[in-house]
Chain A
Amino acid sequence: MTLVVENVSVRVGGRDLVSEVSLEVAEGEVLGLAGPNGAGKSTLLRTLYRARRPTSGRVLLDGRDVWRQPAGWLARRLAAVLQESGGDFELTVYDVVAMGRTPHKRAFDGDNHEDKAIIADALARLDVAGLAYAPFDRLSGGEKQRVLIARALAQRPATMVLDEPTNHLDLRHQLDALELVRGLGVTAVIALHDLNLAAAFCDRVCVMDGGRVVAVGPPAEVLTPALLAEVYRVQAEVTVHPETGVPQLSLRTGGRP
């Protein structure tokens, strides 16, 4: 599914958190969203999964304005993986992943065999099947993150929005999670702090700063020392990996440009 962001602005309390952002994500494309803290990445993502209505502008999924569709319409097509927010209720991992089936269900519908198979499959793919009946709140940060990705899989979406999905993950699980999303073939927008991961896994990278898009394009074109100096105020060297051809960043510590 194609995702189009059209002149989206989000104004809160007189401050522009996102101003006039336009983006196009093609069918099956993985777009990385990068930028310093407070750049507006999470706010922009919120307008995509219907958690914050844009002050102006439109978000189109396959040509339809997501904010003009019924709430369930989007959830059957787009899944979001958000930062974990704990609760005081003893939900099991299975309960959390089973929530992913909700958009496909009407009132009083039970989980049929297909639902159960989809839930079991999502648990297995994220390597959390053994934790199925463990209390979600007592998992480690990385385990929770994987469970939330599993919940998004259980939604069977054609588009995914992920906000820092690799935040709490160890190196192995970081690669596994991003490879999994790539392997699904879905259209995806992923906010990532780790620019090396963004370079390795994203077709294009969008760099935001101060609520605006500073640069969009293939990683090798966007992640340049000049841009990193301007946006992140760091001195970085960019080399190209001899085997994979992926641009790699190494930071120089200490001095500021």
Chain B
Amino acid sequence: MIELTETAGAAPAAVPGLPSRRPGPPYPLVIALLTLLLAGAVTAGIAAGSISLPAGQVWGILLHRIHPALADPAWTSVRETIVMDVRLPRVLLCGIIGAGLSVCGMALQALVRNPLADPMLLGVSSGASVGAVAVVVSGLAVLGVFTLPVAAFAGALAALAAVYFLARSGGRMTTVRLVLAGVAMAEVLSAVASFLVVVSADPHKAQSAVRWMLGGLAGTTWTMVWIPVAAVLLGTVALLGVSRPLNLLLAGEEAAASLGLDVHRFRAALFVLVAIMIGTIVAVSGAIGFVGLIMPHAVRLLIGSDHRRALPAAALLGAAFLIVADLVARTLITPEEIPVGIITALVGGPFFLWLMRRRSR
């Protein structure tokens, strides 16, 4: 082993014009602010609606439910039902979906080493849609409540694998090929999903498939929440566990191999993990775009690319963002609901452009 002289702990010499510490705000502050933002989004998400509740009452009801001694019940049981059975599951699901899309986007960007990767852009979401629509239209339920998520996962994994191998030629993958393969795959799979609906013999099933394809989170109930919550929480913990190998992939395949990563096996395993997360998400929400593209970029601009720091921040920011987007989607033109994907695209596009401008300065 190399014996090095002790320059341990010596601060790097300051060079004029170069930052002597990591640029940007300190990491604990960022996490604290993002947590605060998420808490605010959750409160607003539960408080707002056809019957609006004061924020204090929202927390009163939640705290009372956690332990009756924490808050005195000074509200009607109708309001408690609204909070506990209507708005809380929906806000929780939104948060989980936002966090899941965001960390999946970040992981995909590292896995294909391309900042334009996103579950929607790579056709992963469309693949999951095909799987889910096939189940809805055919009325299959061989696996009970897991039928839809498992079919969506299978579709997502197949689409991801197809795009990955189409985009690679001679061991190399260019941005152009990746995006073209992803867009083409997304188009083809959307067409397949629509085709399945059109040829469906049962009009009721076709209608429910169409409603599902439009996306959105209307009518969320507690039974829909648990599978995505489990998948996203476990998946995010798993991604945090491999945050160092994810960093290595940013350095390139050869460098990652020389630093002790079995690149092919690792990538295959993570494709499966991402497909599971996206599959369970799409199974409940339909395809929601832009979250997986923008949130990772916003986080990287704030605190850099190191996944050990960026993944938790991406989860928090993605959760807060989608809760707010869903809030806007259901309150903007009440009583009508806009599919939340429209809101994420409308908000996400300009935000992304603003970030790009800021970055190029």
Q: Which residues of A contact B (CB under 8 A)?
A: 46, 49-51, 71-76, 79-80, 82, 85, 87-92, 94-96, 98-100, 102-103, 105, 107-108, 110, 113, 116-118, 120-121, 123-125, 129-134, 153, 155-158, 161, 184-186
Docked-complex contact A72 and B250, CB < 8 angstroms: no
The docked-state distance in angstroms from the alpha carbon of A128 to that of B245 is 24
Docked-complex contact A82 and B15, CB < 8 angstroms: no
Indicate whether A75 sits within 8 Å of B23 (C-beta atoms), given known contacts A113-B9, A121-B7, A121-B8.
no
Indicate whether A95 sits within 8 Å of B304 (C-beta atoms), given known contacts A87-B251, A105-B244, A124-B7.
yes
The docked-state distance in angstroms from the alpha carbon of A51 to that of B257 is 6
Q: Which residues of B contact A (CB under 8 A)?
A: 1-2, 4-5, 7-15, 18-23, 109-110, 113-115, 175, 240-242, 244-245, 247-248, 250-255, 257-262, 300-301, 304-306, 308
Indicate whether A108 sits within 8 Å of B241 (C-beta atoms), given known contacts A95-B305, A117-B9, A120-B9.
yes
The docked-state distance in angstroms from the alpha carbon of A113 to that of B8 is 9
Docked-complex contact A87 and B250, CB < 8 angstroms: yes
Determine the chain B residues whose CB is within 8 A of the CB of A50 once the complex forms. Answer: 257-258
The docked-state distance in angstroms from the alpha carbon of A107 to that of B252 is 20
- Besides A89-B110, A155-B259, 8 more A-B contacts (Cβ < 8 Å) are A90-B304, A91-B250, A91-B304, A95-B247, A124-B7, A129-B12, A130-B13, A134-B19
The docked-state distance in angstroms from the alpha carbon of A130 to that of B19 is 8
Indicate whether A102 sits within 8 Å of B15 (C-beta atoms), given known contacts A90-B300, A124-B10, A155-B259.
no
Docked-complex contact B248 and A99, CB < 8 angstroms: yes
Determine the chain B residues whose CB is within 8 A of the CB of A96 once the complex forms. Answer: 251
Determine the chain A residues whose CB is within 8 A of the CB of B247 once the complex forms. Answer: 95, 99, 102
The docked-state distance in angstroms from the alpha carbon of A186 to that of B308 is 31
The docked-state distance in angstroms from the alpha carbon of A74 to that of B261 is 10
Determine the chain A residues whose CB is within 8 A of the CB of B305 once the complex forms. Answer: 89-91, 95
Indicate whether A75 sits within 8 Å of B2 (C-beta atoms), given known contacts A113-B9, A120-B7.
no
Taking the nearest CB of chain A, how far is it from the CB of B346, in angstroms? 26
The number of inter-chain residue pairs (CB within 8 angstroms) is 141
The docked-state distance in angstroms from the alpha carbon of A98 to that of B248 is 10
Taking the nearest CB of chain A, how far is it from the CB of B57, in angstroms? 39
Taking the nearest CB of chain A, how far is it from the CB of B17, in angstroms? 10
Taking the nearest CB of chain B, how far is it from the CB of A139, in angstroms? 11
What are 8 pairs between A and B in contact, CB < 8 Å? A75-B259, A89-B300, A90-B304, A108-B241, A121-B7, A124-B12, A130-B15, A155-B259
Docked-complex contact B254 and A85, CB < 8 angstroms: yes
Taking the nearest CB of chain B, how far is it from the CB of A90, in angstroms? 6
Determine the chain A residues whose CB is within 8 A of the CB of B248 once the complex forms. Answer: 99, 102
The docked-state distance in angstroms from the alpha carbon of A185 to that of B19 is 34
Indicate whether A49 sits within 8 Å of B13 (C-beta atoms), given known contacts A88-B115, A90-B300.
no
Q: Nearest CB to that of B261 among chain A residues?
A: A71
Indicate whether A87 sits within 8 Å of B261 (C-beta atoms), given known contacts A94-B22, A108-B241, A158-B2.
no
Docked-complex contact B10 and A72, CB < 8 angstroms: no
Determine the chain A residues whose CB is within 8 A of the CB of B115 once the complex forms. Answer: 88-89
Determine the chain B residues whose CB is within 8 A of the CB of A153 once the complex forms. Answer: 2, 4
Contact of B1 among A124, A132, A158 (CB under 8 A): A158
Most A CB within 10 A of own CB, among B12, B109, B115, B248: B12
Docked-complex contact B23 and A133, CB < 8 angstroms: yes
